[in-house]
A and B are shown apart, each in its own frame.
Chain A
């Protein structure tokens, strides 16, 4: 039982990390990134390329992958997202779906590593700590710890730095922020970079459990319910939603017959949408005329 809850929490943290990624982007730029899972996959695959082809030590590969992907995210915002800003949300969603398709298809074109499932050789891989009857794999502990650290870092960023406060201002009212002298476009690029950097971290953390392969990004389809449950646009909500989804999935897999595990998150999200259409911690704003 405790075992199930723990693995559910670890899974929930992965969902939370992915959900944080697109909540961040949604909050700041009101665009929805349907390719978040594919960026996560790309991050893990970049790490694989660095370690397998270029023989980087694992720590250097991880740092390089996160930094590189952050830059890539900012660049992508400039090249692909900014030209369609101001278009309806639907356009941006389709654009990111297209980007995700390009990444997922493009990765399979890498010789040998593109089509197989790769192992990211983390130093802690396969280790297990045992406390009495409960066995915890170090991979899961790492996921929980890293999620906590990242949440802390985000909290500090938004609460105490000028950059974070500027981001909050932009997300509340873009035009007003622009008038106050905040470089909104540059901020958008930074937010995209941050979000994709976080996706990369999620990918690297997930890689020891599911291995790195072209289709690992599909897990993000469960992070959407997580973000919705918490209320899209709320960062604590994303974490809460991720944990709820992870727990629901683990418990459904344990108590209910086979097959319910995969639909349980979607049933939960539909219930939440019917009961509270803006999610648990969602902002509820009325139109002022």
Chain B
């Protein structure tokens, strides 16, 4: 059992709350840094993929998990980032600048979407973003002179200071550094005034407004930041895939991202990482074990869809806080060891609130 005595405001907002945090996150970092020296290219690629999806998940988490706005079109930002990156790197722009530009372009598109989206909420916002996602996908298909249309667009290998960074190992390093930077950015954002404003808007728009938070300003900001972060993920995704085509950024990918944040745990940054691990590991596990299943089930083309759906429904019904929520319960159990009680972290009973009368 650990007791935390906070004697100053700095202690309250410190990122590493106690020595345990320092130790475990330090160990995680050490393992991630050691990975390229011990693991093969296959595992490195998978880990890069997890981190890329985690960045995209972080972006959507900021919007949906922390600001309470739903988006069913986030794959579009992934696409905008990926194509910007591919085109700029293809034109000879150095890699970091291209990634920055991908974030900026994606963020700018986010502002454009965010502005009309401010007037609508709930299901209307979901459909507006869905519509936006479809339109962007169609633009990627039709604007053939730039995007290559359905034929696809090959992506150049990134280069830094004249060195060409090809292969799984350099890409892994790039992705790792960007992931750490984005995570730190979000951690700091969420403990700043802006982040608190986002959370206040999520919890109650009316109270946030009464506290002097400009809804329009902060919602647009959240949309732009979220889009920029997903754009960064898109830029990395372009290098990971080395070949882009519009169907990689369709509505199903947007829904994958939503599944990622819900299964990982809505409203926690850890959740984005857990969700990304789930999303990347599940197809691999299924293809590894489907020989054990009856042929009709194992060979069905929809088995992955079925598993995603079943896990999603199970998580929402039985563990609304997602994987991170389950982990928190297990941790609390051991921290309090003999005195943990079953209902301690149970969510409050809620009653249906009409969203029409807002």
Contacts and interface: CB of A to CB of B under 8 A. Distances in A.
Interface string B299-310: 011111111111
Nearest to B69: A90
Contacts of A90: 64, 68, 70, 266
B226 to A, nearest CB: 15
A221 B258 contact: no
B181 interface: no
A273 B118 CA distance: 11
Contacts, number: 167
Nearest to B142: A259
A270 B131 contact: yes
B341 interface: no
A contact face: mostly helix, strand, loop, or mixed: helix
A40 interface: no
A6 to B, nearest CB: 26
The range of chain A's interface size is 35 or more
Contact of A106 (B306, B354, B357): B306
Given A221-B251, A283-B356, A32 B123 contact: yes
A201 to B, nearest CB: 24
B309 A100 contact: yes
B131 A266 contact: yes
Given A100-B309, A105-B304, A225-B131, A232 B124 contact: yes
A273 B313 contact: no
A270 B128 contact: yes
B354 A277 contact: no
A65 interface: no
Interface in B302-355: 302-313, 316-317, 320, 349-355
Interface string A100-112: 1111111111110
A93 B64 CA distance: 13
A85 interface: yes
A86 interface: yes
B122 interface: yes
Interface string A249-289: 00000000001001101110110011001100001011110
Interface stretch (B16-24, B133-141, B154-162, B268-276): B133-141
B277 interface: no
Contacts of A80: 313, 317
Given A114-B300, A224-B127, A262-B134, A98 B122 contact: no
B134 A83 contact: no
Contacts of A84: 316-317, 320
B122 A89 contact: yes
Contacts of B134: 221, 262-263, 266
B305 A105 contact: yes
Contacts of B304: 105
Contacts of B308: 98, 101, 105
Given A90-B64, A273-B116, A109 B357 contact: no
Contacts of B108: none
A26 interface: yes
A111 B298 CA distance: 12
Contact of A105 (B119, B307, B358): B307
A273 B131 CA distance: 11
A110 B296 CA distance: 7
A135 to B, nearest CB: 31
Contacts of B141: 259
A174 interface: yes
Contacts of B352: 30, 85-86, 174
A105 B302 contact: yes
A210 interface: no
Given A26-B123, A105-B309, A266-B135, 14 more contacts: A30-B356, A86-B350, A89-B122, A102-B313, A105-B306, A105-B308, A106-B306, A109-B297, A109-B303, A114-B302, A232-B123, A259-B138, A263-B134, A266-B130
Complex A-B, nearest 8 residue pairs according to Cβ-Cβ distance, in ascending order: A101-B309, A105-B306, A108-B302, A98-B312, A105-B305, A266-B131, A105-B302, A102-B309
12 contacts: A86-B352, A97-B258, A105-B305, A105-B309, A108-B306, A174-B352, A225-B127, A259-B138, A266-B134, A269-B128, A270-B116, A274-B119
